[in-house]
Amino acid sequence: MKRSLLSIWFGLALLVAGSASAHIRSGEGSHAGLPVAEISHGEMAVIADYRGRIMDLASRAVDTNEAFRRVLNYAEIQYSYCLWGRMPGSVTDEESPFNECAHAYLAATKAVLLAMRDMPQEAAAAAEIISAVDIDMVRRGLSLVTCRFSGEGFNTADIVRPHWGEIPLHPASMASLTGLAAILAAGYFALRRVLRVQSSE
């Protein structure tokens, strides 16, 4: 329990430290990395549902190259910056402070999936996922759904952070983070109590 709580605190500390830097958009940042094509708002909702399968296949990919690994790494980093997709509305609500960073990690996830079409050992599984995504897009009528970030491309050299200053204006995000803070605070004081009891024995 102690190690788990410390890991959570450390992760949040890194995120808060990162938020002190200015928000970086791919159009304004360095282009020393690899470009990642944009993803539409409609595509995001479906790719998010298949993210687990895509990343699992990518993690087992054998026939990889440096470009693939860099985009895969970017997808994972962006996912963590977006609080692992846990914030309510981060994918579906364009007003969410986490929507742009969700665009970034899902655009990279899509790029990873498309790259696997050209890998001999992963091509069949990737094609199966792509087919399922296409069917879901049509079935749910999401093909033409866009938002303010739908035309934004990304770059593996640029980290897109949440819009922290907008959280108080987004009730769902504010409620979720307030609840998380309360849980962490309760866990911290419970841990202190346990350690105090152990030290007195």
What is the predicted pLDDT for the residue at 6?
41
pLDDT at 68: 97
Q: Which residues of the chain have pLDDT under 50?
A: 1-29
Beta bridge partners of 155: 35
Dihedral sign computed on CA atoms, order 41, 43, 46, 48: negative
- Residue 117: the pLDDT is 94
**Rg (the chain; Cα; Å):** 19
Closest CA to 109 of 139, 78, 64, 88: 78
Spell out the residues 6+ positions from residue 189 whose beta carbon is closer than 8 angstroms to its own: none
As a whole number of angstroms, the distance between CA 113 and CA 76 comes to 14
Beta bridge partners of 36: 154
Q: Residues for the chain: how many in total?
A: 201
pLDDT digits 0-9 by tens, 42-100: 889 899 999 999 999 999 999 899 999 999 999 999 999 999 998 988 898 888 999 99
Can you tell me the distance from the alpha carbon of 88 to that of 40, in angstroms, rounded to the nearest whole number?
Answer: 19
- Between the alpha carbon of residue 69 and those of residues 47, 51, 102, 119, the distances in Å are 19, 16, 20, 13
Would you state the pLDDT for residue 180?
67
| Residue 7 burial (CB count, 10 A) | 10
